[in-house]
Amino acid sequence: MAEILKGLPAASAITEELITRCNSLKSKGIMPALAMLRIGENQSDISYETGASKRCEKIGINVKKYILPKESKKEKILNVINEINNDKNIHGCLMFRPLEDKDTELEACRLLLPEKDSDCMTSESLSGVFTGSDTGYPPCTAQACMELLKHYKIEFAGKNVAVIGRSLVIGRPVSMMLMKENATVTICHSKTQNLPSICRNADIIIAAIGRAGFVDKNFMSPGQVIIDVGINVNSEGKLCGDVNFSDAEGIVRAVTPVPGGVGAVTTAVLAKHVIESAEKL
């Protein structure tokens, strides 16, 4: 049976370390704070916001929520970003994306101060990920994949990794981060040919697709590690990942569960970015 790589132990280890760092900041009179900007009432945004708020509370990070109605105009949204930029007591910002209006999203990403960018919205942060420099922070979910691999001491230097998905929030950045640490990465997407065969030949699969149970036994081989980033609802209305978990359990060496895998680590990474920004002051 495959080892189940739960997110909680990794998230708890990060949280414990952050509590110490947060206390040390507070002893110097710095109160770390995160602004969360949500436009509309998307259920998955709300549940992430709840999880992130709880994580921050546990660590001692203040959270300031900006919640705007779905129909908010561009000016209103940009005003909030300006307010966050100008508030010296806010160290990090997370804006839930995608926004309905792409143009507004682009302008908001351009406007946010790079030093307050906790989830890789700005081109400065993206350039850090793609050039391999220390500029900004990677997207929290992409970094959560790396944190999970490291927590469970899964070696990836020199290994073949198949990343399924090429979005700017997960697939591309996690591929760059893995390559920086000497993995050999194949970035796959909806037009990739022979996907099951590419995946079968990989040592590690990162699935970030958004299709329930898409990665099944045809993609798997013994000895593999699978990181399932997907968050989907299956035909029975249950939360599930991109990986057919029961197939994985019987074939591969290790697999992350959904829920309770990557998602559990993501909020801890977000908190880490806020603490790091506060430490840079």
Interacting residues with ligand NAP (CB under 6 A): 141, 164-167, 169-171, 188-192, 195, 208-211, 229-232, 262-263, 266
Instruction: State in angstroms the smallest separation of the CB of 163 from ligand NAP.
Output: 9
Distance between CA atoms of residues 121 and 109, nearest Å: 5
**93 vs 209, which CB is nearer to ligand NAP?**
209
Query: Which residue has the CB atom at the shortest distance from ligand NAP?
Result: 167
CB of 203: closest distance to ligand NAP in angstroms? 19
Using CA atoms, how far residue 275 sits from 51, 116, 141, 206, 280, in Å, is 17, 11, 17, 27, 9
Strand 239-240 and strand 232-233: the pairing is antiparallel
What does the block give as tokens for 14?
A: 């990060």
Nearer to ligand NAP, 72 or 256 (CB): 256
Q: Which of 53, 55, 59, 63 is nearest to 90 (CA)?
A: 63
Q: Cβ 119 to ligand NAP, closest distance in Å?
A: 10
What's the closest the beta carbon of residue 73 comes to ligand NAP, in angstroms? 25
Nearer to ligand NAP, 63 or 231 (CB): 231
Measured from the CB atom, the residue of 128 and 263 that comes closer to ligand NAP is 263
Q: How many other β-carbons are positioned within 10 Å of the β-carbon of residue 73?
A: 11
Using CA atoms, how far apart are residues 146 and 163, in angstroms rounded to an integer?
A: 13
Between 25 and 212, whose beta carbon lies closer to ligand NAP? 212
Please identify, using beta-carbon distances, which residue of 128 and 171 lies nearer to ligand NAP.
171
For the beta carbon of residue 59, count every other beta carbon within 10 angstroms.
23
| Torsion sign, CA atoms 149, 129, 81, 210 | negative
Q: What one-letter code names the amino acid at 50?
A: T
